[in-house]
Amino acid sequence: MKILLATRNAKKLVELQRILDAAPGCRDVTIVGMSDVPDYAEVPESGLTFAENALLKAREGATHTGLPTVADDSGLAVDVMGGMPGILSARWSGGGGDDANLELVLVQIADLPDTARSASFVCVAALVMPDGRWWTVEGRMPGRLVREPRGTGGFGYDPIFVADGEERTNAELSPREKDAISHRGKAFRGLAEIIARELVGVRDQRG
């Protein structure tokens, strides 16, 4: 069974496939990305919330490919910045890329004490079926921002984010450790339960 993940980000494809492989009933589900299907114009992320953007992308994918489609929108929400960069996280520096986005946030909060550097990663994942049915799941990862990047794993703002209960940044965690606590891991595991129930037919054994 194939499901489209509406992204060209290879790391997200690997991450979702890894989570589905570990989920009951989802081991026979194969994730394909936008590079694996006929080209179609990517819908602009014009929503005002993570959920709106995730649904926009998932609906576009399901319409153009006829495949059940998963999409997510995620970002960094810094408390002292009123939840920004939020849905603008990937474009915060005006198109400069991950490193530029990270450096800009560090500059913006450079003078703040450690006690004022709380933040959360937020992810909303959406599943849209070709018949129009849809679901969304939100995952949050609370933590704090450090003053200098650390680690070589992950992507985006991972090198400056330390999750609650951790001393290492997300970029210093192994993929499995990050999956267990991350915002995207939580959201994708929630979708995995829906995929198992709605697409694979696995019933919740908890009753």
DSSP bridge pairs for 120? 77, 142
Residue 120 lies in a domain: yes
Residue 207 lies in a domain: no
For 4-53, the pLDDT digits (tens) are 999 888 878 888 888 888 887 787 888 999 988 888 878 888 999 999 99
Residue 206 lies in a domain: no
Q: Which of 36, 39, 72, 73 is catalytic?
A: 73
What separation in angstroms does the CA of 183 have from each of 76, 158, 178, 188? 10, 12, 9, 9
Residue 54 lies in a domain: yes
pLDDT of residue 204: 38
Residue 158 lies in a domain: yes
pLDDT of residue 201: 61
Residue 192 lies in a domain: yes
**Nearest alpha carbon to residue 105 among 81, 87, 122:** 81
Residue 116 lies in a domain: yes
Q: What is the mean pLDDT of residues 66-74?
A: 95
For residue 81, give the DSSP letter.
G
Q: Is the dihedral of CA 15, 17, 18, 24 positive or negative?
A: positive
CATH number at residue 140: 3.90.950.10
pTM for the whole structure = 0.88
Residue 205 lies in a domain: no
* Number of domains the chain is built from: 1
Would the pLDDT of 121 be above 50? Answer: yes
- Residue 30 CA to its chain's centroid (Å): 18
Domain range for residue 128?
A: 2-200
Residue with the bigger pLDDT between 176 and 163: it is 163
Is 72 labeled as catalytic in the residue annotation?
Answer: no
- What's the distance, Cα to Cα, between the start and end of the chain in Å? 26
